[in-house]
Amino acid sequence: MKRTKHLRLGFFIGLITISFNATSQTNAKESKMRGQGIYDTNCVTCHMANGEGITGAFPPLAKSDYLMADTERSIKTILEGANGAMKVNGTTYYGAMVAYNTLTDQDIADVLNYIRNSWGNEGDVIEAKAVAKLRQ
51 touches ligand HEC by CB under 6 A: no
Select from 109, 90, 122 the least CA-distant residue to 33. Answer: 109
Q: Residue 62 and residue 42: Cα distance in Å, rounded?
A: 17
Of the candidate spans 6-14, 21-29, 95-103, 124-132, the one that interacts with ligand HEC by CB under 6 A turns out to be 95-103
88 touches ligand HEC by CB under 6 A: yes
Q: Residue 32 and residue 42: Cα distance in Å, rounded?
A: 15
100 touches ligand HEC by CB under 6 A: yes
95 touches ligand HEC by CB under 6 A: yes
Site size toward ligand HEC (CB under 6 A) is: 28
Number of residues written out for the chain: 136
83 touches ligand HEC by CB under 6 A: yes
